[in-house]
Amino acid sequence: MNGILVINKEKNMTSRDVVNVVCKKLNTRHVGHTGTLDPIASGVLVLGVNDGCKIIDLLTSNNKTYEAEVVMGILTDTLDVTGNIIKEEEVDVTEDDIKRVIDNFPKKYLQEVPKYSAIHVNGKRLYEYARSDIEVELPKREVEIYSLKLLSVNGNTFKIEASVSKGTYIRSLIRDIGSMLGISCSMKELKRTKQGIFDIKDAYNLDEINMDTNLLSISDALINYDRLIISKDMEKKVSNGMVLELPTDSDMVLILNKENKLLAIYKRYDKDPSMMKPYRVFKEDL
C-alpha cells in the first residue's frame, strides 16, 4: 500500500495524532504529513503512505487555501484565541473598512513569523524561547497572497478566504490585516480547504479510513510534473540510479515504463545541466 491520502482533520488534534491513527488503521509505521495543521485548525492534511513519504517534500511546496474567522479587538501572544490576551480594546470599524483593507492588502510582503512557531533561530525553535519568556528577534519572510476575500462580517468577527504561498502564517496575516485597520485582531477559527491539487471535498474523515481505502497514486499526486516513458533497455539504468541524458527540457520529470509504472523521479544535474540524476527511485510496484 503506497500513495497519498488526503484527510479532513478535525479540530483539537495535532497532525501527529492524525498520523498515529492512520498508521494503526493501515497497519504501517511509514506515514508522514506534508504540512502541519495546529490543533485549532481543521481541514486538508495530506499524508504520504509508505513510498508516498518519498515525495512529501514535493507536496509541501504547494500553495494553500484557507478559510479563517477573525475576532476584532483582541490580540494574544499566540495570535489566536488559544493564547493569553495581551491587548483588548473597543473597535469601531465598518464592513466597508474591512473590505477596503482586504481589497488593498499587498500581494507580496515581508511577514513576521509568530513567536509561537516552529521556526529555528540559533538552533532553537521560536516557541521554546517564547515558553521561557526569552525575547528574540522574529524572522521575516517574503510571502505571496494570491487571493484574499472577505466572506462575511458578524458583530466583532469577520471571515476571510486566503490563497497563499508556502510558509505563510494565517495568524500573522490576520494580525497584519488588523494593523492596516488600526485595531487588534486574532484568529478564532481556521480551516484549510485546499493544498495544491488536493481539495477538502475529496478528503477522507478519519473514521472512514481502513485497509480498503483507495490511496491516490504517486503519479496522480504529481500530475503537474512532466512524464517520460522509457524503453525496456533504459529501465535497468533507471532502477540502478544512473545519471542519464534524457529527452526533456524540464528540471524534474517522472520516469515511467511502457506499462505506465512509475520507476523514478529524475531532476536536473547541477554539475552538468545536460544530464539528469535520480531524485527518488521506486523499487516496489506502485
What distance in Å separates the CA atoms of residue 26 and residue 144, rounded to the nearest whole number?
A: 37
- pLDDT higher than threshold 70 for residue 284: no
pTM: 0.89
For residue 8, what pLDDT band results from cuts at 50, 70 and 90? very high
Average model confidence (pLDDT) across the chain: 93
Question: If 0-12 CB within 10 Å is exposed, 13-18 middle and 19+ buried, where does residue 156 land?
Answer: middle
Cell of 147: 487571493
Specify whether the CB–CB gap between 41 and 55 falls below 8 A: no
Cell of 99: 473590505
What distance in Å separates the CA atoms of residue 159 and residue 162, rounded to the nearest whole number?
A: 10
Q: What is the dihedral of CA 16, 214, 34, 76, to 10 degrees?
A: -60
Share of the chain above pLDDT 90, in %: 81
The per-residue pLDDT for range 52-98, each reduced to its tens digit, is 999 998 888 779 999 999 999 999 999 999 999 999 999 999 999 99
What distance in Å separates the CA atoms of residue 4 and residue 9, rounded to the nearest whole number?
A: 15
Q: What is the mean pLDDT of residues 225-238?
A: 92
Phi, psi (degrees; rounded to nearest 5) at 113: -75, 155
Phi, psi (degrees; rounded to nearest 5) at 225: -95, 150
Position 61 scores a pLDDT of 74
Domains of the chain by start residue, with CATH: 3-62+197-219 (3.30.2350.10), 64-195 (3.30.2350.10), 225-281 (2.30.130.10)
Specify whether the CB–CB gap between 5 and 19 falls below 8 A: no
Give yes or no: 38 in active site. yes
Question: If 0-12 CB within 10 Å is exposed, 13-18 middle and 19+ buried, where does residue 195 land?
Answer: buried
Q: What is the mean pLDDT of residues 139-154?
A: 96
- pLDDT higher than threshold 60 for residue 285: no
What distance in Å separates the CA atoms of residue 114 and residue 70, rounded to the nearest whole number?
A: 16
Q: What is the mean pLDDT of residues 26-54?
A: 93
For residue 219, what pLDDT band results from cuts at 50, 70 and 90? very high
- pLDDT higher than threshold 50 for residue 27: yes
Q: What is the mean pLDDT of residues 8-36?
A: 93
Q: Strands 226-229 and 252-256, how do they pair?
A: parallel
Q: Which of 17, 38, 176, 220 is the catalytic position?
A: 38
3-state secondary structure labels for all residues of the chain: CCEEEEEEECCCCCHHHHHHHHHHHHCCCCEEECCCCCCCEEEEEEEEEHHHHHHHHHHCCCCEEEEEEEEECEEECCCECCCCEEEECCCCCCHHHHHHHHHHCCCEEEEECCCCCCCEECCEEHHHHHHCCCCCCCCEEEEEEEEEEEEEEECCEEEEEEEECCCCCHHHHHHHHHHHHCCCEEEEEEEEEEECCEEHHHCECHHHCCCCCCCECHHHHCCCCEEEECCHHHHHHHHCCCCECCCCCCCEEEEECCCCCEEEEEEECCCCCCCEEEEEECCCCC
Largest CA distance in the chain: 73
